[in-house]
Structure 1
Amino acid sequence: MGEQKRKEQREPKFIFTKKNYQVMAIGLGVIALGFILMSGGGSDDPDVFNPEIYNFRRIRLAPFLVLLGFGIEVYAILLNPNKKKK
C-alpha cells in the first residue's frame, strides 16, 4: 500500500487533457484567421483613400471570428472531459 501511495505522488496530475488542448488549438486557429482577414486594404499613397478598408470582411467577418475564437478558448478552459454522460 505504501508503494502505491508513493507512485500516486510521483505521477503529475494535469489540469487539462488532450481534448482541452485540441479545442484550444482550434480556438487559436480561428483567432489567427480573424486577424489575417482583418489585415490589408491599405493604400501605398497616403494621399489616396482606399474604401476597401471598410468592406464586409474587415468590418464584420474578421471581428466576429476573433470573438468566436475567444469563446472557443473559454469553452476549452471550462471543458471537463472526465464528466460522465447520463
Structure 2
Amino acid sequence: MNNQPFPFEKKNYRLMLIGLALIVLGFVIIGMDSEPHGNGFLGLTLGPIVTLAGFIFEFYAIFAKSEKN
C-alpha cells in the first residue's frame, strides 16, 4: 500500500469547499433573476461577481501554505 500523504492539508480542503459553495451560490443567484434570460441586476452583476469571487477563493485555497511549512 502506498502511504503518501494527501496533497493538501485539512485547511485547504475546507477552503476549497467554501469556494465551491460560493461558485454554486453565484449560479443560483444568476438563476433567481426575474428578468427574461437573466438580463437583470442579479443575472448580470451580482451573480457573476459572486461566482468570480468563488473562483478566486478556490485559487487561494489551492495555493495556501500550511502552518507547518
Fold agreement, TM-score > 0.5: yes
**Structure 2 Cα separation of the partners of residues 13 and 72 of structure 1:** 24
Instruction: With the length of structure 2 as denominator, give the TM-score of the two structures.
Output: 0.81
Which aligned segments of 4 or more residues in structure 1 are displaced greater than 4 angstroms?
A: none
SS at match of 1:16: coil
SS at match of 2:8: coil
Give the superposition deviation at 1:72: 0.5
For the pair shown, the structure with the greater C-alpha radius of gyration is 1
Instruction: With the length of structure 1 as denominator, give the TM-score of the two structures.
Output: 0.67
Instruction: Name structure 1 gaps, 5 residues minimum.
Output: 1-9, 43-49
Same amino acid, percent of matched pairs? 38
Aligned length, in residue pairs:
68
Task: Calculate the aligned-residue CA RMSD, in Å.
Answer: 2.3
